[in-house]
A and B are shown apart, each in its own frame.
Chain A
């Protein structure tokens, strides 16, 4: 996880474009990774991340603290990702059933295993996918995810459990 500025006011700091660049540098990995793991397309993820930062630049006067900026970025990125998935009017590119099962037990830190897992996550329904990303990429608690996505905590918990069960089922032969 990248360091987050605490206690400084990003509005004052990012008034000019040079300081806004520093803000982008600080949060680009968070925004880009959410978009990339969600959309599974580098170009689309970069475009979405750029749009999120453009929107941030327009709304900068409303930001009250660094924490507010992080919360805002996560929320806007999450909603934009889900909207993008709906706009494309598609189910995940790879259906959960189409993800091939590994024939050999995976080793920890195996890049193939990581790719396999990313594909599995990419095959989840949009909302569940975002919940899994916020939980495991951003380390957020279900209550924080619920606040971000404007859902009930119980909904987040049940969706998370269901998504994990689906992922475990498919990855069952990988001997966790």
Chain B
């Protein structure tokens, strides 16, 4: 490294930003986190910004809680129904397969019987 490069290095040495840089970064992070959280949370009646007392506030909270429970129960019911339907479909498919195999075997046996009965008789009458 020659003298020019040394001078360049000296000129480009690191500098620190103004005081409180890290605090400003963290404030921005917290701000964005709050903004993201608020998108869904602020619309719920449980958000701290909503009135905590009063008949209307209590009613809204209860209605929301009941609605959430109903939605959850509905979801579970639909899931269970779908699961049972899928199980029944699988059993049905198995029964159909078994019937197809049985039919094929029956046809085979029938053909054998037919071929035996149509065989020419031997000299002793058998």
Contacts and interface: CB of A to CB of B under 8 A. Distances in A.
Interface of A: 1-2, 17, 20-21, 24-25, 28-30, 32-33, 36-37, 42, 45-46, 49-50, 53-54, 57, 108-109, 113-115, 117-118, 121, 132-133, 136-137, 139, 164, 167-168, 171, 176
A165 B23 CA distance: 41
Nearest to B8: A136
Interface in B1-53: 2-5, 7-18, 21-26, 28-30, 32
A51 to B, nearest CB: 9
Given A21-B23, A21-B26, A54-B28, A28 B17 contact: yes
Report, as a range, how many residues of chain B touch the other chain.
20 to 34
Contact of B3 (A29, A45, A136, A176): A176
A28 B22 contact: yes
A115 to B, nearest CB: 8
A176 B29 contact: no
A176 B95 CA distance: 94
A171 B4 contact: yes
A133 B10 CA distance: 12
Interface string B106-121: 0000000000000000
A24 B8 contact: no
A36 B7 contact: no
Instruction: Say what secondary structure dominates the interface of chain B.
Output: helix
Instruction: Say what secondary structure dominates the interface of chain A.
Output: helix
A117 B4 CA distance: 10
B28 A136 contact: no
A91 to B, nearest CB: 20
Contacts of A118: 11-12
A20 B4 contact: no
Contacts of A17: 26, 29-30
Nearest to A118: B11
A49 B15 CA distance: 12
B7 A108 contact: yes
15 contacts: A20-B26, A21-B23, A21-B25, A28-B21, A29-B14, A30-B14, A33-B15, A50-B21, A54-B29, A108-B3, A121-B11, A132-B12, A136-B5, A167-B4, A176-B4
A21 to B, nearest CB: 5
Contacts of B16: 28-29, 32
Which among B5, B13, B22 has the highest number of chain A CB atoms within 10 Å?
Answer: B22
